[in-house]
Amino acid sequence: MEKICDLQTHGLKFIQRDDFFPFGTDGVELANFVDGNPDDRAIDLCCGTGIVPVLLAGKKGIPTTGVELQPEVAELARRNAGYNKLPIEIFTMRVQDAPAQFGRGRFNIVTCNPPYRKAGSGMQSESPYVRIARHETELTAAEAVDAAAALLETGGKFYIVHLCERMAEIMRICQERRLAPKVLQILRPAEGKPPKLFLLKCAAGGKDGLTVLPERTVYGTTADDYPD
pLDDT tens-digit series, residues 185-206 = 999 999 889 999 999 999 999 9
| CB 147, CB 96: distance < 8 Å | yes
Residue 221 has pLDDT above 70, yes or no: no
> For residues 170 and 127, which has the higher predicted lDDT (pLDDT)?
170
Q: Which of 6-15, 20-29, 123-132, 206-215 shows the lowest mean pLDDT across its residues?
A: 123-132
| CB 151, CB 182: distance < 8 Å | no
Q: Where in the chain are the domains?
A: 23-217
Neighbours of 162 (CB within 10 A): 23
Neighbours of 12 (CB within 10 A): 19
The H or E element spanning position 3 is strand 2-6
Q: How far apart are CA 158 and CA 179, in angstroms?
A: 8
Q: State how far the alpha carbon of 162 is from the alpha carbons of 17, 30, 223, in Å.
A: 24, 10, 14
Looking at the chain, the number of H-run helices and the number of E-run strands are: 7, 11
| Position 121 confidence tier, pLDDT thresholds 50, 70, 90 | low
CA neighbours within 13 Å on the CB side: how many for 181? 21
CA 32 to chain CA mean position, Å: 11
Residue 222 has pLDDT above 60, yes or no: no
Closest CA to 111 of 177, 25, 50: 50
| CB 96, CB 145: distance < 8 Å | no
| CB 154, CB 173: distance < 8 Å | no
Average pLDDT score over residue span 132-154? 94
Query: Tell me, what's the pLDDT at 1?
Result: 84
Query: Tell me, what's the pLDDT at 133?
Result: 80
The pLDDT tens digits of the residues spanning 67-108 come to 999 999 999 999 999 999 999 999 999 999 999 999 999 999
pTM: 0.93
Neighbours of 223 (CB within 10 A): 9
User: What is the CATH class of 23-217?
Assistant: alpha beta
Closest CA to 25 of 192, 220, 185: 220
φ, ψ for residue 225 (rounded to 5)?
-70, -40
Tell me the DSSP string of 108-160.
EEEEE----BPTT-SPPPS-HHHHHHHBTTS--HHHHHHHHHHHEEEEEEEEE
Question: Could you tell me how many residues make up the chain?
Answer: 228
